[in-house]
């Protein structure tokens, strides 16, 4: 887990700073970029007068509430409530904080991520605009035939903006270096995603199907599931290309708002409302996902038309933006969980069972902690009785007997045949080591903060809010 932040930080910094510096120098600076972008009009356009023209609000964060591109009310709701799932509960993100020593380290890592997340405006949005300035007819193509010829996508070619910058304006050596950094970043992200998907499937699904499955079987099933995920991802590419007007970023946010954001609502209800039941959370999330899948299927059946074409999609798609639909699905999830929880209130957990499982009882010992404490007391008492009952026994013999009963880690290197080594490499080698549990005392120690560090982190939070407020004031 400690390697995840380290191996992703350097590719991120290199990838985001190098190309931004070169591309901004290429157009003549920030002032020249703001002026030239409004003049980046492709030479071939269809009969529609607005197609291919840069948006008049291109340098604004908050767009029209009734617009088709990121309306500001939906953007605010999804950036606050909706993204709780992504930043607080998504396993790909959460696993980056698992290696933290304490809560202060966790907060510091999250704060560093927040500061880095300010950079995409300068390292992703502005380079995209610069790419349109330098390659107007390719990146900003408005005619379907031209777009089909340039990027094999009739809806638009905005997705090739960054790759076009790397391949066209960077010198040979720097170009190869940037491609290597891009591949490293992609591999790091895919590793995190596939590892999370494999863990969820093997632990939460396969163990329910095969309760007697051993560790080797779980390891093999996890790797086969990753292979299946890769195949499905490749088959899904043609649908992604045409979805949401050919903008991959918009498609990713649409899928998240439809399918993933209800997960955040479910976790919030479970953490802050003690009346939530297991059936309420499960079936509430299931109902929300069914509604979301219906919307997703309609998105693929009725793709967004190209600029200038007639929009024949149902009003459910054309009039309700996916950001607004995300707000609707979140409200639907909360209402479903509350309704089903009241219908199944006979299955509610008692206050004693919820100790250590909610925000209000996070510092109290849960059932596992109490059980472990009882087992520890029993073990200590049994060991003391053994010592009292072995007064006449040879001390070395008694010590050997105690050592023999303790688990040992086998560290001997055994030479294996080549075929067995290949098998162990492909399907894994099972060891007898077990991970230690995170008990009550460790949890309390983890949540304890030093006042000096805590105050310093609070100052950084205020500084971050000031930076965000400044950017909102400039690019409102």
**pLDDT tens digit string along 317-351?**
888 888 899 889 999 999 999 999 999 988 888 88
Q: What's phi and psi for 40, nearest 5 deg?
A: -80, 80
Residue-level pLDDT at 410: 40
Residue 456 banded pLDDT, cuts 50, 70, 90 = very high
> Is 228 among the domain residues?
yes
> Is 461 among the domain residues?
no
> Is 204 among the domain residues?
yes
DSSP string over 86-98: IIII-HHHHTTTT
pLDDT tens sequence across 117-131: 888 888 888 888 999
Q: What is the spatial distance between Cα 211 and Cα 204, in angstroms, rounded to a whole number?
A: 11
Closest CA to 457 of 102, 118, 121, 119: 102
> Is 231 among the domain residues?
yes
> Is 107 among the domain residues?
no
Q: What is the spatial distance between Cα 347 and Cα 277, in angstroms, rounded to a whole number?
A: 7
Structure tokens at 78: 């999804």
Residue-level pLDDT at 349: 83
> Is 462 among the domain residues?
no
Q: What is the spatial distance between Cα 209 and Cα 202, in angstroms, rounded to a whole number?
A: 10
**Other C-beta atoms within 10 Å of 385: how many?**
10
Residue 47 banded pLDDT, cuts 50, 70, 90 = low
Residue 373 has pLDDT above 70, yes or no: no
Residue 9 has pLDDT above 60, yes or no: no
Q: Do 300 and 256 contact (CB within 8 A), yes or no?
A: no
Structure tokens at 369: 């902690």
> Is 240 among the domain residues?
yes
94 CB contacts (<8 Å, ≥6 apart)?
88
Question: pTM, whole model, 2 decimals?
Answer: 0.72
DSSP string over 16-38: HHHHHHHHHHHHTSHHHHHHHHT
Mean pLDDT of 397-413: 45
Q: What is the spatial distance between Cα 339 and Cα 275, in angstroms, rounded to a whole number?
A: 11
**How many domains does the chain fold into?**
1
- Average per-residue pLDDT in the chain? 78
Q: Helix, strand, or coil here: 389?
A: coil
- Residue 206 belongs to what domain range? 188-246
Lowest mean pLDDT, pick from 4-13, 43-52, 343-352, 362-371: 4-13
Residue-level pLDDT at 416: 67
> Is 351 among the domain residues?
no
Q: Do 30 and 127 contact (CB within 8 A), yes or no?
A: no
């Amino acid at each position: 887990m400690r390697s995840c932040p380290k191996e992703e930080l350097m590719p991120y910094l290199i990838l985001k700073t190098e190309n931004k510096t070169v591309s901004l120098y290429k157009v003549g600076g920030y002032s020249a970029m703001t002026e030239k972008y409004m003049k980046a009009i492709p030479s071939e356009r269809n009969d529609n007068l607005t197609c291919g023209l840069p948006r008049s609000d291109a340098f604004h964060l908050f767009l029209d509430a009734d617009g088709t591109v990121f309306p500001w009310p939906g953007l605010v709701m999804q950036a606050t409530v909706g993204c709780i799932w992504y930043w607080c509960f998504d396993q790909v993100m959460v696993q980056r904080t698992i290696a933290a020593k304490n809560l202060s380290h966790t907060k510091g890592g999250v704060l560093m991520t927040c500061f880095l997340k300010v950079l995409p405006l300068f390292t992703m949005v502005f380079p995209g605009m610069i790419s349109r300035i330098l390659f107007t007819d390719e990146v900003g193509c408005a005619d379907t035939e031209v777009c089909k010829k340039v990027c094999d996508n009739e809806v638009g070619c905005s997705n090739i903006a960054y790759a076009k910058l790397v391949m066209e304006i960077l010198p040979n050596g720097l170009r190869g270096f940037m491609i290597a950094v891009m591949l490293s970043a992609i591999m790091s992200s895919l590793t995190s995603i596939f590892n999370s998907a494999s863990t969820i499937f093997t632990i939460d699904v396969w163990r329910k199907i095969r309760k007697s499955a051993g560790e080797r079987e779980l390891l093999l099933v996890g790797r086969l599931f990753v292979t299946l995920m890769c195949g499905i991802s490749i088959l899904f590419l043609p649908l992604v290309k045409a979805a949401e007007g050919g903008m991959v970023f918009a498609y990713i946010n649409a899928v998240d708002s439809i399918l993933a954001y209800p997960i955040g609502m479910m976790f919030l209800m479970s953490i802050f409302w003690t009346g939530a039941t297991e059936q309420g959370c499960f079936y509430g999330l299931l109902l929300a996902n069914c509604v979301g899948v219906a919307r997703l299927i309609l998105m693929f059946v009725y793709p967004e038309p190209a600029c200038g074409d007639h929009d024949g999609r149902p009003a459910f798609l054309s009039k309700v933006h996916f950001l607004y639909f995300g707000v609707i699905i979140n409200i639907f999830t909360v209402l479903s969980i509350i309704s089903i929880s009241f219908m199944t209130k006979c299955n509610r957990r008692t206050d004693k069972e919820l100790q250590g499982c909610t925000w209000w009882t996070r510092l109290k010992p849960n059932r596992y902690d109490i059980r472990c404490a009882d087992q520890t007391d029993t073990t200590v008492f049994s060991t003391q009785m053994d010592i009292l009952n072995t007064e006449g026994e040879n001390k070395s013999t008694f010590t050997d007997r105690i050592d023999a009963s303790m688990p040992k880690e086998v560290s001997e290197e055994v030479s294996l045949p080549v075929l067995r080594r290949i098998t162990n490499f492909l399907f894994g080698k099972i060891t007898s080591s077990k991970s230690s549990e995170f008990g009550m005392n460790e949890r309390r120690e983890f949540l304890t903060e030093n006042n000096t560090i805590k105050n310093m982190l609070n100052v950084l939070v205020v500084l971050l809010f000031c930076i965000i407020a400044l950017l909102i004031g400039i690019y409102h």
